[in-house]
Amino acid sequence: VVLSVDKETGKPIAGPDLISRGFVYMRDSEELLADARGRALESLAGLNGHASDWVFVKDKIKHTLSEYLYDRTHRRPMILPVVMEV
């Protein structure tokens, strides 16, 4: 998961972009990945003042996507959130 955020506001500028290696075939799973992107953005909306705590942000994204992807696929992929300040 790659996400660019505004340095001052903590709001997402670009992304989240999901990159899959060996988990699902990207072309066959567009709906799953689109829903996962939406879930990642929803998790960022509920940060309540923790937007500048990047460890918290990464953990929140990882936890949210882990639960969602397990519910949909019954698989537990490795999720590596990368948050870049711009």
Rounded to an integer, what distance in angstroms lies between the CA atom of residue 68 and that of residue 76?
A: 10
Q: What is the CATH number of the domain that holds 10?
A: 3.10.20.580
Q: What pLDDT, on the 0 to 100 scale, is given for residue 27?
A: 73
User: 76 is in which domain, residue-wise?
Assistant: 2-85
Q: What is the pLDDT of residue 22?
A: 79
In order along its 86 residues, the chain shows pLDDT tens digits of: 888 887 777 778 887 888 888 787 677 788 888 999 999 888 888 766 666 678 888 898 899 999 999 999 898 999 999 988 88
Measured between alpha carbons, how far is 55 from 13 in angstroms, rounded to an integer? 18
pLDDT of the residue at 49: 61
Checking DSSP bridges between strand 82-85 and strand 12-17, what pairing results, if any? unpaired
Q: Structure pTM? A: 0.79
The count of domains in the chain is 1
